[in-house]
Amino acid sequence: MSGIAAIKTPSHDDIQVFYTTTKSNLGLDIRKAIHSNNNPTKGYIATSTDPDGNVVTSSDIAVSSYLGIQFVVGITRNPAGTTGAPSGTTLNNISILSPISQTIARVEQDNSRITSCSNGIQSSVFYLRKHPHDPEGSHLWEYDFDSGQAKHVDDLANVRKGSGLASYYTKDDRLVVYQDKKGVIREYSSKTTDILMKNNRFFYTASEKQFSVDFARGDP
């Protein structure tokens, strides 16, 4: 399945939907929050005569706003002879796909999960890298747009290999939802890491007392 990500245009009610195409390029649909015959979807996609891109089509993409600009980030391949890629590399790239093309980090080929979040002023990209000592685990890494640096999240070492990722900002904190090696859905922040959901039940921690709420899923 191709990657897909969406974000609301800051200045009006358009929804920007980004996705990876069969030509490994980035596609864009601009949709209205309220559909009518007077505001059809506008689409932008590479034509059949355009060259193929290098986005890994089976990987995630993510979008967030930094300093008023929508940054789309994804995972790209290193074609043979790529300038700057290590010789004989088996790594892919964490790359800005739009509005410019730039490699911001390297990642193993079997790590295809990525997420991004922003508070409008600061923005971060989270992704997984191989755990050096645990074949069933992964390390969570963060790229910060403000500093332009990527770093390992030191106090989080129980992420399941291949776990999906989701992230969001509160006023002063970045939070990442992930699955641990036991299959438990957890939420990481710089302040605390708690169980979020287990066996379709949400768990919350408050005043040293843990209570749960059933998580109901509708029929497909």
Count of other CB atoms within 10 angstroms of residue 184: 16
Which whole-number Å values give the CA distances from 160 to 61, 113, 163, 182, 184, in the listed order? Answer: 19, 11, 5, 8, 9
Q: What is the pLDDT of residue 36?
A: 60
Q: What is the pLDDT of residue 117?
A: 94
- Domains in the chain: boundaries: 4-169
Q: What is the pLDDT of residue 218?
A: 38
- pLDDT, averaged per 10 consecutive residues of the chain (220 residues), comes to 82 85 91 69 86 91 92 86 56 93 92 92 92 84 93 82 92 88 86 55 41 36
Fold assignment, 4-169: Neuraminidase (2.120.10)
Q: What is the pLDDT of residue 145?
A: 94
